[in-house]
Amino acid sequence: MKQFNHMKKTLRVEALARRDSLDPVWRIEASLGMADHAAGRIEVEPGSAVSGFWPMRSEVDVRPLMFALAEKGARLCLPAIIDRSTIVFRELVRGAELVDTGFGTCGPAADAALLEPELMLVPLAAFDARGHRIGYGAGYYDRAIERLHNLGKKPRLIGIAFDCQEVGLVPDEPHDIIIPEILTESGLRRFGTQVNS
């Protein structure tokens, strides 16, 4: 287990270093291109909840995609850490104050409505062509997805990353949650296969 965790940590550090080295202007352009590409390929029912995230450091800026989905009628929500092991998803509405929601992110305040996302745009540090992901190491999304599954909900999961974050093989365990779709600047892929690119 110790070697397993060390391998994941090494892959995480290397993938994030590659992401950090991307030109900031290029990252913005790539994020906008990803939103343009994916907005027409991701269908949402009016009123359905879509979780995104406010970008931190060199992450893909998923806000343009979130706002494009909102124009289709989606209700947006952002994660908030409520204790050391749990995230909830608070509704993001125009004009609402954004506050520190933990782990270097910001989002709606505690009085915002809580939503259970039907579509989750999932941040990640690294991924492989099988849909296995490496998060940032705290396990928040794994637990949130498991909690939704335990409630009988099966949200559509789309990992968000740049191509440079792909690795040959993510060490995995039987209980790991697979992300069936990954959106990068190359398009929307499902288990390593192009989807509607």
Annotated binding-site residue? 110: no
107 annotated to bind ligand: no
- Provide the pairing of β-strand 181-184 with 126-127: unpaired
Report which of 183, 164, 191 is spatially closest to residue 14, judged by C-alpha positions: 164
- Asked if 181 contacts 157 with a C-beta cutoff of 8 angstroms, the reply is yes
Say how far apart CA 69 and CA 63 lie, in whole Å.
10
User: 141 among the known binding-site residues?
Assistant: yes
Helix (H, G, I), strand (E, B) or coil at 181: strand
The contacts of residue 13 (CB under 8 Å, 6+ apart) are: none
Query: 165 near 117, Cβ under 8 Å?
Result: no
Q: Determine if residue 11 is labeled as part of a ligand binding site.
A: yes
Separation between Cα atoms, residue 45 and residue 74, nearest integer Å: 7
Q: How far apart are CA 96 and CA 107, in angstroms?
A: 9
190 annotated ligand-binding residue? no
138 is in an annotated binding site: yes
12 assigned ligand-binding residue? yes
**Binding residue per annotation — 9?**
yes
Who contacts 81 (Cβ-Cβ below 8 Å, separation ≥6)?
87, 101, 102, 103, 140
To the question of whether residue 136 is assigned a binding role by annotation, the answer is: yes
Distances in Å between the Cα of 9 and the Cα atoms of 18, 47, 160 are 14, 38, 19
Q: Please check if 139 is assigned to a binding site.
A: yes
Is 2 flagged in the annotation as binding? no
Q: Binding site for substrate, residues? A: 59
Q: Binding site for ATP, residues? A: 8-12, 133-141
Q: Binding site, residues? A: 8-12, 59, 133-141
